[in-house]
Amino acid sequence: MIFISGIFITFEGGEGAGKTTQIARVAAVLREQGRDVLTTREPGGNESAEKIRALLLNNEGAHWLPLTELLLINAARHEHVTKTILPALQAGNVVLCDRFTDSTLTYQGYAGGLPHHIIEQMNTLATEGLQPDITLFFAVPPSMGLQRSKNRGGASDHFEDKDRLFHEKLYAGFKEMVQHNPKRFTVIDATQPLENVTEQCLAAVERILITD
């Protein structure tokens, strides 16, 4: 039996929802409070998993078969969970992770069409059953999120290039998952200005830190 003293918090949502921006802001506040914080992301998050991320997100990623994509995501996840997330949690860190298993259920399942039971089995295998203590869902309508990504500039990856219907299914999938897991999810109104979104995130994070 592994003893975990840290807290595992995941940030989920569609494209351009503001997760990356808020993880940095929340981490800065928690560090000021003297907490040990690890910020990380999926796919990727450590040296070996980032190599798999490159295979998934560059232009060639568009050519993987859906099941190959799922296997690659979970291969990266197994490296990430085993070598990075679990050791950080065992050392008592607050781990803030940009996307995790909920992204697989929405991107590859709800929007991508792979059967949910296969995804759940793969996720469980890759994570050895590790689940987030809480998940912040950044609720932003797809049109607004895609516009933010566009405004940010830079090259798009092949997920951002998917059509409007894909992003609508994704958003609906996230909302359904929130309904099914009301205890784990906190909905963040991420259409609000940055400061306000940070306040909502910190309120949720502080709730779990106090009850822990």
Residues making contact with ligand Z5A (CB under 6 A): 13, 15-21, 41-43, 73, 98-99, 103-104, 107-108, 148-149, 152, 157, 159-160, 190, 193-194, 197
Residue closer to ligand Z5A (CB basis): 25 or 35: 25
Q: How many CA atoms lie within 13 A of 102 on its CB side?
A: 30
Q: Is 128 left (phi over 0), alpha (psi -120 to 50) or beta?
A: left
In the bound state with ligand Z5A, the residue whose beta carbon lies nearer, of 89 and 119, is 119
We find the least distance from the C-beta atom of residue 188 to ligand Z5A, in angstroms, to be 10
For ligand Z5A, give the closer residue by CB, 81 or 89: 81
CB of 34 to ligand Z5A, least distance (A): 25
For the four alpha carbons of 118, 121, 124 and 127, in that order, the dihedral sign comes to negative
State which residue, 62 or 91, has the beta carbon closest to ligand Z5A: 62
Q: What are residue 37's phi and psi, to 5 degrees?
A: -130, 135
Output phi, psi for 165, to 5 deg. -60, -40
Q: What minimum distance in Å lies between the beta carbon of 10 and ligand Z5A?
A: 10
The 3-state secondary structure of 70-133 reads HHHHHHHHHHHHHHHHHHHHHCCCEEEEECCHHHHHHHHHHHCCCCHHHHHHHHHHHHCCCCCC
Nearest distance, CB of residue 53 and ligand Z5A, angstroms: 8
Smallest gap from Cβ 168 to ligand Z5A, in A, equals 15
Would you say 88 or 201 has its CB closer to ligand Z5A?
201
